[in-house]
Structure 1
Amino acid sequence: MGATLLCELGLFLLCTLLCTGHTQGDQDAVLTIEPSWSSFFIEEFVTFKCDMNEGEDTDWEYKINKDGREFIPYNTHKDYSLPITTTDYSGEYQCSGRRKSSHDTKNSSAVSLTVLDRPRATLTLGTTIIPVGGSVTLNCSVDSYAKWKYEWFRRTQRTSEVPIRDQQNRDIRVSQGGIYRCRGTRGNPVYNTDISDDVTIEKTLSNKVVVKQQPNWPQIFRGETITLTCEVQEGGETTEWEYEWRGPRTPTQWTHNNDVTFRVSESSSGDYMCKSRRRDDSYSSTEWSEAFTLSVSTDKPRATLTGTTTIIPVGGSVTLTCSVQSSDGWKYEWFRRTQTTSEVPIRDQQNRDIRVSQGGIYSCRGTRGNPVYYTDISDDVTIEITFSNKVVVKQQPNWPQIFRGETITLTCEVQEGGETIEWESQWRGPRTPTQWTHNNDVTFRVSESSSGDYMCKSRRRDDSYSSTEWSEAFTLSESTDKPRATLTAGTTIIPVGGSVTLTCSVQSSDGWKYEWFRRNQTTSPVQIKDQQNRDIRVSEGGIYRCRGRRGKPVYYTDKSDDVTIEITSQFRTETFPTRLITGLLCGILLILLLLLLCYIKLSKDESFVRTQSTNQSSAMKHMINQEAQHSQNTSLQGDVCIYESIRDYDDRVKAECRDFTYSLIELKNFTNKDDSLLYADATYSKTECNSDKRKSATEAADEGVYSEIKPQETQGASCCDCNDYQIGFKWSKFITKSPLTIE
């Protein structure tokens, strides 16, 4: 029992030792890299070393894994040197060892490796200009990586590049001009970075340089050619120099020429600087000159041609001036042409001012520089020679007042010997052409815009630049209101067998003919033919009016107001106003006559009425009371109209003529109940007469009696329907009205 327990304990300890020993063996493998840098560059070498820390190195086989995959298979070399050719070698590396006798394995920890592209050294400096007697500091670096040493190189334009010995530091100071560069080195074998960019170091000379422009014009135009010169001052005359420029249109390389010539364009504007250096010491130069600013005018200039006057007086001349604004250095070319000849230069004339005594069309332009630069040619100026002939503007028709809508003609007339010459004319005015024309007149219809001053001048057709002076202004005043004709008559009544004179006129104007029209109340107006005079005589009644006309095409005034002409007659009048006045007069006379006759008649009848009224009053009162009583008993209300007929008792005797007198009898009711008026129509036969036997007025009055009164009610009316009596007149009868009151 005890032995068994001991055996089990021994086996347990053995297993524990074996397991523990195996685990410790796996952790004892170590992978190292040489050089021990974290980053490597392409074309460098890295060496992997795998150490098992157990037994002899020959007891093991070795392999290297990358990112968990086999990279270098098992072999007997614990060291493996790898040339780096690509950045794909970046990753996690681990080595494994396998014992040859037992095939036990050990694994190392992972080691990270970063591979980068070949680096370039960077050369920096505070300034590239070495002051006189001084130096500058150069600095070379390779990103931020350590373990670098540096190599420095210098060359000139005439010598090849050589290393600067005893200079392996990162920073160096130099006092010699030249082209410098550097590179970094490390490792064994030596690994070199790419070499840095060049840096040119120059030594400053004390000489001063200035940029000058030729030609030295203050304004330069696009298309002109200029020269910029780099001039070394303060003792630089005896030294051979070369030059460098900075500017939009200058070379950037050093050149033996101290000037640069170019044709100016929009891109030429800007600042220009230069510096110089000795030809035998290309890295000893002056400082940069002060900037010279070139401003280019993009618009091509145009010459301006002016003249003291464009009219050459007889036997005289005029001065023409050509100029280019705000610029210098110009010469001038002059040209002349006519309408029939082409333009030709005026030789031997390059001045700004010239005098000419010949008519024509002149122009000029400016020239300057070499090669020659031309401005745009000036606008034309027409020079004319003045004739002594005088011109006058005349109006046809020559009416003092012109109305809107009329057509007139203005004529340009050359006087003083111009009759035998063929002329052409030019006009100035609101409604005239501005070009020269062979017609010496202009015709237009007058409107509001026609008012104003009109002038003209003439020139020979065979010499278009020899003309007269402008005429004096002819002022046209246009009347905007259309005129109205005025019709007047000496009288509007044509006497029997006679006539009247009608006059048509248009106020304050001349040249009118007239059109006459006649109508009556039932017909439309018709024109009276063959009548165009201002005054006409008419013997026919009617309504007349007229209007004026003049000019070609014809211009009409507004028509006049109507005038009515009447004819006088012995028997009747022709017009309504005359008949009305005559009728009224006759009516008034007739009424007066009737009133006189009635007065006479009434005076004759008064005696008869008094006699009969006494005999008949009692009977009349009785009958009236009865009628009043009867009226109260009826169903009618209000006023009642009762008409009675009073006729002659003896109506048998007939006569050739009778006089009738009608009386209106007013009946009064004396009862207290009703105050209605009773009306009776009494017909009374007064007299009878014939041609054989005529009674006297007294006898006729004695024969007049009232026979009976018969009341007649008008049913269905509440008021009296009393019609007015009409007064009629006949030569054989008299009818009157007279009231009769019965109490």
Structure 2
Amino acid sequence: ILLYCGHAQDALLHIEPNWSPLFTGEKVTFVCDSREGNDTDWNYSFSRNDHFFTTNRTVNRYKSSSLTRGDSGEYQCVADHKIRPVRRESNKVSLSVSGVPRLVLTVSPSWTSPGDSVTLTCSVEPPSAGWRFFWYKAVPHLPYNYIYTYELLAGGTTGTQQDSYILHGQTHTAGYVCRARRGDPVFYTLYSGVKFVWSGGEFDQTFIFLHKGINVLVVLTLFVLCVSPNDVSSGVNPAASLTVSPHRLQHFSTESLSLICEGNSTEWRVMKVDEDGDRSPCSYLGKMTGSTCNTDARASSGVYWYPRPVLTVSPSWTSPGDSVTLTCSVEPPSAGWRFFWYKAVPQLSRYSYTHELLAGGTTGTEQDSYILHGQTHTAGYACRAGRGDPVSYTQYSDVEFVLSGGVNPAASLTVSPHRLQHFSTESLSLICEGNSTEWRVMKVDEDGDRSPCSYLGKMTGSTCNTDARASSGVYWCESETQSSNAANITIHSGDVILVSPVRPVTEGHSVTLGCKLRTENLLYNVDFYKNDKLIPNPVRGELLISAVTKSDEGFYKCRGRKSPQGLETLTSAESWLSVKWTNDEPEESDYENVRMEIAADG
């Protein structure tokens, strides 16, 4: 939300584009109008929350890097005349940055007769202006469950200003998604979830009821369909059809079902959508053999609701050797579950994970929590739950990561330039090393959204080059078997950053922190802060901690001036300094790398 105030004689600050809300990942331009003479007669400085992040600019425009929630605040500009001792202060503009926008696709009607028209509607939440909408068909990506690729609908390369799209003459069952973009440079949302338009044709054989017995109420309504890479089933689609055996719509709970796919493909999967819109593959219903899904005892149990549990990890960021608690919650809460705990193993070819049971976990636990002792490396985890006889399992939870700066000898991340904070104009190289020939770089932002290197730049061999597209977040490397140390990288749009080591400092060793100016000029009257408290510091321009202890862990930042008599201060963002015990695994020290960064600045 942008709020304007000020006097007629003052400078005027405005933001382009003037949208509300703004979202994580978007970019804006701050424009300072002196409202006197020519723009070139003035020098311009910009501040956030009364701290200048760039000063004495000869142009009145400042382009931000990709916004994060941390960029929310009150902004102001100051125009200083180059010849006369005249200063113009602007109004204050309140800028609020929301998390990643969510797209919701709706289809109407969702069940059609052949030839009907269908309206797709794409909504951005929270609502905001300036979007163009793009429409896609979801193409099944076999043999992986839940995975689809997206094909633009005909004539959709430029998108539509309208948030709706009409499909004329719909004849077959098909899935669709949407996404939106706005701004210059262009900012894209994530894709919406897949929504299906159902068509049963002359016989709605995919609309199945389960009964517990004769004249007993229906316990569940579900849709079942066959999908191949080329088509999706309906009752009259010759390229893909589903046959149900026994050949009727209603079944007793004691019966086994066979769901048979036929058509122009040699590879199939059977998918189910329940009344809540949740999709599940044949593996949750029974067993897929060739083109047939046999439900066996899982159908006779009448259990077709497969909740997805929620996994939480505490703490999510650890120092080497910490204990971590995993907690698995089934929603809505219910009794009788046993919980199973898994390590997430990266599958590099498709940005997904397989699940490997943790040691001693074959029988599960009655408790909904599990403690990991002596966590030393970054790793992902998942859980699921089971109950009943025969056992009915939930889906797997989403993968949640325990992040650690501790170095894994089998997998390590090196950041170049070698520091945690970087200017928005810098390109980064994120280099993976260890016991693997294939790597991917992953990032998780403050909202928990994960993205691979391809969203940040380009992965070449074991190196991800961001080309100035990086945004703040936690980065790490993954191979098929290992995850590296994590680095909490801050991308700063201001003129000063803190120079601090990427990896934990060993207890008893020394470390030097520096304060770096974007222009490489000397910074004056530099102060350092730990957890927002000023640190007495006799060394000009840098902070030396000669023998680090665990008590030195904390959030550090620096503040300085461009000239000895300058009134305007420049403040860096904060970064966490991590300390590891001396009995942890040996690792390369960051001390020389940090000293070189500081020396280059001085």
What TM-score, normalized by structure 2, do the two folds share?
Answer: 0.34
Structure number with larger C-alpha Rg: 1
Identify the structure with bigger relative contact order (alpha carbons < 8 Å, sequence gap 6+).
2
> Which of the two has greater strand per residue?
2
What TM-score, normalized by structure 1, do the two folds share?
Answer: 0.28
> Which of the two has greater helix per residue?
1
